[in-house]
Structures are given as C-alpha cells and as structure tokens.
Structure 1
Amino acid sequence: MDLLQQNWGWVTANPWGFATFVVLAFGAGWGAANLFYRERIELLKARAGSPDQQSTKASAPRTFQYVANGRHGPNLLAATTHDAFVGQELSLRADIPDNETLHVVLHGPPHAYLSDTSGAWHYNVVGVTNWVMSKYQDNTSSPVQHFNAESGRAELQLIFARAGNVRVEVFESDSSSASWSKDIRVYDKG
C-alpha cells in the first residue's frame, strides 16, 4: 500500500501505464499459479463439479461398492456383469471404505491351442488407480493374478485376450476366505 501512496503522482499522470502494469502483474501471477498448481486446480474443479467425489469423511463409502460401469466400460466386479468379449475394454472398479482393503483374484482359462495368446487378459498400466498387481502366473491348469487395493476408489482397464471362463474371487477386509465370487464368460468376437 505504501508503494501506491509513494507513486500516486505517477499513477494519476499515467493511468494507461498503470492499468497495463496491473494487467501484466496479474497475468504473470496467474501464469505462475497455472504452471505450478495446474494439477491441483483440476482436482478442485473436478471435486466442485461432482458432489459424489467430495473428499469428506461423510462421503466415503461405509460398505464395499461395485458400480455397474467404470471409466473404461462395464465393471468386472459389478453384480450385473457376467459376460464379456475378447478385446472388450472393461473396468476393474471398487469403492473401498476407510481403513479397509480389497483383494481380488482372477483365475482364467488355460491355453486350449498352441496359437493362444500368452496371457488370458492384460491391463493398461496408464491410469491405474489404487491397484497393486501381482505377477501374472500362467500355470498349466489355470492362469491366475492377484489385485490389491486400499481405502478409496480403485480402478483399472482390463481386456480379455482369450475366450473361456474366468473365475473372480473377492476378499473384503482382510478375509481369509472369499467374501463372494462369480464366473465371467468370455466370448470370441466372432
């Protein structure tokens, strides 16, 4: 404020120069904030635009939730998903209550032919949210892979590469036995 009082004579003599200075200073501040805080600003915009993504304790789920569709397509963990196609994009999505964990095990179809792809499924490593995956194990009887997540939203894109039956076992809250399980039938595109 002292700077403005000391230079009041110049401000009144050059109103357009002062206005230009104010605009440039504001633009430089805005540019710096945008450069350094862009990611945080986008998160705040997303939270402000969708009330279901509030970060308050009251909005955290109290039970494990598996919505019908995720960001990448039908949710493999939803009660409504029982069929899929080779090459179809699916979500592996769960909303996990505070202080809880989720463990998902996929058991896939074994190789039927020598020309079968090496993996029964694959996932996109870009955009994985809150999942930690074990190494894919391609056993002779049935390939298997483990997926672990902690409190909050967990999601990834999963694509089946081989037709057959996939067994999904879900262990909620550090349970030693499956809380629930289901079979997904994967069909060829043709």
Structure 2
Amino acid sequence: MTSGQMVLGMQFSGGYGAAPGAWRLPGANLNSYTDTDQFVRYAQAAERGKIQLLFIADTPVLDVDLDHHAPHHMIDPLLILTVLARETERIGLVTTASTTFTEPYSLARQFKALDVISHGRAGWNAVTTSDPAAARTSARRYSRSWAATDWHTSRVISSQCDHDRPLFLGSRSLGETSAYGNCRT
C-alpha cells in the first residue's frame, strides 16, 4: 500500500543550471561551479521548500570543451555535500560515484564519512561509468561495482561496536577486497 505522497528531489548541476550558455548571461557568477556559499543558499532554500533530497550527478571525465562551455559538474560533489550536511538539517544528500574508478574501500570510507557527518542523510548513486571515454579504461567495471556496493553496504555501514568486549570492529567481519575489486570474506 502506498502513502500517496510524492518524494521531491532536486538536481544540482555545475552552478549555472541546464541552459548551456547561462554562464554568459549578464550578472552570472562566473565562479558558480566552485561557489560553496551559493550551493549552501540553494540547499537551504530547497530544504525550506520541502524538497526531500539533493542530487549531484558526476562523471570522472571532462565532458565539455572549456574554451566554449562551462563545466557541467561542480567541484568534488562529496566535499560539496559535506559542506551542505553541516548547513542543513533534514534534506537528503545524494551523489554519483563511479565504482570503475574508485577503490571499494575508498568509496565506502567516503560515503560512511558523509553519512556520519550528515547524521544519516547520505545517499549513493552507484554507477559503473558508461561514458565511452571513461569506460574503455576498465574492463572489470561490473565486478568492481559489485565489490564496492557489497563492501559499502554490508561491511562498513553495519559496523558494530561493543562496550562489553574489547572489540570495536572485528577484522573478520570486514573481509578483504583485492585491488581489482574482488571481495573475499
């Protein structure tokens, strides 16, 4: 049974909106894609407007000609979301992260940090990076994706601490991930 309620999300882009030439408009902030204060203002306005989550798409390749176009993506989305986590209270914070180009442990560590800093408001759009320029560099992208999502969800987020035993997080519960993303428990 559904509640009949809609979840509203808002996508942040490079700071200029979706119009390709918006950066050329009079009064446009030419540093918009790096202006964290601007993103804080946008996020706070979205939260006041009852938006439930912010989404930042990302790709590990430069996908525009910077001679003629502004970047599609802002500076590092995890860092932007970490800033937003401290400046907002309820809104969800979601970004894309490539399992093709980031080691499973690094992804898990980064998203766990955002989850802790945001008090449980972090979300991850796990992708294998289908962009031809990025994808051709890794033939093992799907096995790495599995390993990264497995490591993130079952090992790090479900960490258990026990005050009664001298055990913070048993190393046997973590498993081992090879450099190629093959997870072994």
Give the TM-score of the pair, scaled to structure 1: 0.24
The structure with higher relative contact order (CA 8 Å, sep 6+) is: 1
More strand by share: 1
TM-score, with length taken from structure 2: 0.24
